[in-house]
Structure 1
Amino acid sequence: MRYNFKFDIVRHRRKFFAVSIAITLIGIVMLAIFNLNYGVDFRAGTNFDITVGQATDQAKAADIFKNAGYDPSTLTVGGTNNDRVTARFDKVLGQADETKVQAAFKAVYGDKVSMEVNTVDTEIARDLAVKAIYAVLASTIGIVIYVSIRFEWRFAIAAIISLLHDAFIVVSLFSIFRLEVDLPFIAAILTIIGYSINDTIVIFDRVRENLRFAKLKTFDDLAELVNRSIWQTMTRSINTVITVLIAALCLFIFGSPAIRLFSLAMIFGLVSGTYSSVFIASPIWLLLKNRTLGSKAAKPAVEK
């Protein structure tokens, strides 16, 4: 008996591949031309996080820095009562500069002013960037080994392509919109990889279960099995992504400026992860598995 899925995902796989390839190519071009917009974590500079004890605004904070003789590269005002000023400089400032900035704010807001300063020199920035790459590679290799042991190498290849797809989609979007990349961004990438592989494995587990009772002779039989497996887990996938997406949106809207880009990266990654698990990973496994059928009775389904 054929499974009556609402939408034939396999038949339209080329459209989904085209969307992912288009975003990836745009991202590659943007990376080649503009690179990423690295934050202070990955480039030398100094970050001031100043709590002034009362409501303020960006224009007033900018005037204080200007009167003290400083021009921060980025300046934001946040906190529960708009009482926190965050300023970032592309150069490393010394102790004398820190004292001068703190004195300038105390002259306006009084002794309630408190300040936290984070400075990253060139060597530390380079070391952080290298370790971030190692962290992503290590997690990816671990996932490949796990999927290969639990399932088979075809599932592992499909899973790793899906994971790389998710990570690069988020990187591409940050490059296209010139969003800042810092250590929380790397944490978001690692979280996205974990979420995406979990979603992918749920679908792959259903595929494996359905394989036990399937009699596959043609590509159409295999395509039906994949479509059935995806739709059997679709409700779970939608419910999961909506639940996590609501949390990420709340962090983005109501959270502090320090975690806003982290939340945005999570939003991009959650959407991309669900998309790749359903529309990328499973069709790739299908194409790989089709080579083992040894039947030419039917040709692969194509879009109409």
Structure 2
Amino acid sequence: MAKRTSDVTESGAVEAPDLESSAVDAPKHGFFVRLYTGTGAFEVVGRRKLWYTISGVIVAVCIASMVLRGFTFGIDFEGGTKVSMPAAGVTTERVEEVFSQALGKDTETVVMVGNGPSATVQIRSEALNNDETTKLRDALFDAFQPKGLDGQPSKQAISDSAVSETWGGQITNKALLALVVFLVLAATYIAVRYERYMAISAMATLFFDLVVTAGVYSLVGFEVTPATVIGLLTILGFSLYDTVIVFDKVEENTHGFQHTTRRTFAEQANLAINQTFMRSINTSLISVLPILSLMVVAVWLLGVGTLKDLALVQLVGVIVGTYSSIFFATPLLVTLRERTELVRTHTRRVLSRRKPTAERSRRAPETTAPDDDTDAEQETVSAVSSAPATGKHAVADKPVPGARPIRPTTSRTGRPAGKRNTRRR
């Protein structure tokens, strides 16, 4: 059985038993057992350079995509005209052909939205005047004969809407204003609730989530709509919530860490991540399930494009937010805290305590000399006791000139002292 030791810290508090040696001999549990128990078996903070590299590559790819490819903005941002009609017996290629023949120019996008009887075709193009819109509606009605609510062909089944560029600019400005206000409020709350290093790490994590989510939209070509902006603010709130959960556990584990030498600050933070693994995963799963349900209802049943845009950005954001709260926020916090003198000193104390006793004594300065007569006397006694027992006097036993000679210790009978005369009288 491994030996357990307990230490008394400088503040007088008794540390918990050192179970490092027993942990080595303990049986290794399975992946899910370690995941649920949260014993610190998963090394996250210790491999933070790897996570920094992965996160840096992701951010670099996303920024490059946003710069080179840009975004696919919806009609609400760029302005233009949108025409919709039932999708029964309609194909996107045929719609594009009718559009080109009617107006003599190409359309921007033609998409199918929804499934079944509620499916619709949406045509988006640059801003059309009234004459062009009327001509397009007539051409579509002649080509496809869309049916109205009564089941009979009707031009009323074809609807159109126009959005000016001014309206799109107003939406963009309001979206940016809402984003800035949210970031300021979040930073203020974290700075008041936690210490400054946690606030810096949380803000950096939010920036990471924002860049990566936007980069995914740029890479895949998802359309950016007002619903996308609303969903983006929602997932930023989710990411902040998940980060605060982990930080709260880190704060609990590292409270008064400088008074103990059982674990370093980084190890306490890594333990906090392990202890909140299942909470983060369960929260993400519970958030993803209704989002997937919303996408199914929006795309295949109702055909509502706004719900699809809202659910899409939330799905991407939840996945990115879960990753950043575990593999980016807490490792960044540890990196910032390890720059402080308090954490550096404590880490040196912990590592020094874990060194073997022989190594510590070997590295200690060997300048210790006897500072009193006791040590010298003990050395003399040991040297004398170790001398061979012969009948001759040693050199050190020669009489000093002028000194009284030492008589042999014998009894009156001539026998050595200490021996009795056992002869019977």
- The answer to whether the 8 A contact 1:174-1:180 is kept is yes
Deviations 1:236-288 (A, max 9, x none): 11011112222223333452361434333222211110011111111111122
Q: What is the SS of the residue equivalent to 1:93? A: coil
* Partner Cα separation in structure 2 for residue 81 and residue 174 of structure 1: 27
The answer (yes or no) to whether the contact 1:105–1:113 under 8 Å persists in 2 is no
User: 96, 107, 114: which is aligned to 1:62?
Assistant: 96
**Residue matched to 2:128:** 93
Q: How far 1:218 moved relative to its partner?
A: 7.5
The one-letter code matched in structure 2 to 1:132 is: A
Say yes or no: does 1:282 pair with 2:327. no
- Number of aligned residues: 299
Q: Are residue 264 (structure 1) and residue 299 (structure 2) matched?
A: no
Tell me if 1:16 matches 2:59.
no
Query: Aligned pair in 2 of structure 1 residues 4, 244: CA closer, same or farther (>3 Å)?
Result: closer
CA contact (8 A) 1:188 1:266 kept: yes
Letter in 2 for 1:140: L
Measured in 1, the distance between the counterparts of 2:238 and 2:111 equals 31
TM-score by length of 2: 0.64
Higher relative contact order (CA 8 A, sep 6+): 1
Asked if the contact 1:207–1:226 (Cα under 8 Å) also holds between the matched residues in 2, the reply is: yes
- 1:251 and 2:294 equivalent? yes
User: Structure 1: which 5+ residue stretches go unaligned?
Assistant: none
Distance of aligned partners of 1:60 and 1:34 in 2 relative to their CA distance in 1, 3 Å threshold? closer
Q: Distance in 2 between matches of 1:248 and 1:112?
A: 36
Q: What is the aligned-residue RMSD (CA, Å)?
A: 2.7
Residue 41 of structure 1: CA displacement?
A: 2.0
Q: In structure 2, what is the equivalent of residue 199 of structure 1?
A: 242
Residue 295 in 1 paired to residue 338 in 2? no
Cα distance in 1 for residues equivalent to 2:261 and 2:65: 42
Cα separation, 2, equivalents of 1:216 and 1:271: 38
CA contact (8 A) 2:227 2:310 kept: yes
Residue of structure 2 in register with 1:148 after alignment = 191
**Paired amino acid for 2:95:** A
Deviations 1:55-107 (A, max 9, x none): 53323433443443363211112334254111111x21122333333333333
Q: The residue matched to 2:318 in structure 1 has which SS? A: helix
Shift in Å, 1:171: 0.9
Secondary structure at 1:85's aligned position in 2?
Answer: strand
- Other-structure match for 1:136: 179
Matched with 1:79 is 114
Matches within 5 A, 1:29-40: 29-40=64-75
Distance 2:259 2:265 in 1: 6
Q: Secondary structure at the match of 2:106?
A: coil
- 1:172 shift after superposition: 1.2
Question: How far apart, CA to CA, are the structure 2 residues paired with 1:289 and 1:217?
Answer: 17
Farther off after superposition, 254-263 or 171-180: 254-263
* 1:169 aligns to 2:212 (yes or no): yes
Whichever structure has more helix as a proportion of its residues is 1
Deviation at 1:116, TM superposition (A): 4.0
**Residue 43 of structure 1: which of 73, 78, 97 is its match?**
78
Deviation of residue 143 (structure 1)? 0.5
Match of 1:103 among 124, 138, 145: 138
Contact between 2:254 and 2:269, CA under 8 Å: does it hold in 1? Answer: no
Greater mean alpha carbon deviation, residues 245-254 or residues 143-152: 245-254
Deviation larger for 292-301 or 106-115: 292-301
Q: Percent identity?
A: 26
The reply to whether residue 123 of structure 1 matches residue 157 of structure 2 is no
Deviates more, 1:64-73 or 1:3-12: 64-73
Q: CA deviation at 1:12?
A: 1.0
Aligned partners of 2:39 and 2:275 also within 8 Å: no
CA distance in 2, matches of 1:201, 1:246: 22
**Amino acid across the alignment from 1:204:** F
- Which structure has the larger Rg over C-alpha atoms? 2
Q: 1:169 offset after TM fit, Å?
A: 0.2
Contact 1:196/1:277 (<8 A) preserved: yes
Deviation by residue 1:208-238 (Cα, 9 ceiling, x = unmatched): 2223354467896111211111111111110
Instruction: Report the Cα offset of residue 147 of structure 1.
Output: 1.0
Which residue, out of 228, 231, 239, partners 1:185?
Answer: 228
Query: 2:25: which partner in 1?
Result: none
1:150 Cα deviation after fit: 1.4
Contact preservation (8 Å) 1:92, 1:119? yes
Question: TM-score normalized by structure 1?
Answer: 0.87
Write the deviation string for residues 124-169 of structure 1: whole angstroms up to 9, x where unpaired.
Answer: 2222222211111111111001111111221111111001100100
1:72–1:220: structure 2 CA closer, same or farther, 3 Å change rule? Answer: farther
Pair 1:224-2:273 in alignment: no
